[in-house]
Copies of this chain bind each other. A is one copy, B any other.
Amino acid sequence: MPFVRIQLPAGRDGAFKSAVGDAIHDAMYATISIPEDDRFQVISEHSPAEFIYDRGYLGVQRSDAAIFVQITMKRGRSREQKRALYSAIAENLAKRVGWRREDVMVVLSENDPIDWSFGNGEAQIAGEDSEW
């Protein structure tokens, strides 16, 4: 159910993008209790003029190769799950594709089970209230 948008600097090839997608998905699977096949990700590339961020905000030393990860998911993850998620995304990206941990930004937005249709024009998880 999470819907994940990933923004990267332009120039990475398809294999690299796939590895980035895998690293992020596996981090989510490990930390926020989603089924392994609950995966929807979109990656977009941006030129330097289109990808603008401060190199030192909050004391984090960012390079020219940041990655922004926006995750929309239904409400209910605990603060500890979210902390574990951030840690696992940065860890997986560092280990698997060599991304600097300082360069990984993550933003979460939450909605409700009724706010999702996974195909066929149906609201498949609308009946859920407290579990996923």
Which residues of B lie under 8 Å from residue A7 when comparing CB positions?
42
Picked from B13, B38, B49, B121, the residue with its CB within 8 Å of the CB of A18 is: B49
The A1-46 residues at the B interface (CB cut-off 8 A) are 3, 7, 13-15, 17-18, 21, 25, 35, 37-46
Contact residues on A (Cβ < 8 Å of other chain), bracket: 35 or more
Taking the nearest CB of chain B, how far is it from the CB of A132, in angstroms?
Answer: 12
Which of A72-96 touch B at CB < 8 Å? 72, 79, 82-83, 86-91
CA A118 to CA B103, docked complex, whole Å: 8
Q: Which residues of B contact A121 (CB under 8 A)?
A: 86-91, 101, 104
Whether A3 touches B70, Cβ cut-off 8 Å, given contacts A49-B18, A118-B60, is yes
Q: Which residue of B lies closest to A39 (CB)?
A: B54
Copies of the polypeptide in the assembly: 3
Please state if B86 and A117 are interface contacts (CB–CB under 8 Å): yes
In the complex, whether A123 has a CB less than 8 A from a CB of chain B is yes
Q: Does A131 contact B (CB under 8 A)?
A: no
Q: List 7 A-B contacts (CB under 8 A).
A: A41-B52, A58-B118, A86-B121, A87-B122, A104-B119, A105-B119, A110-B111
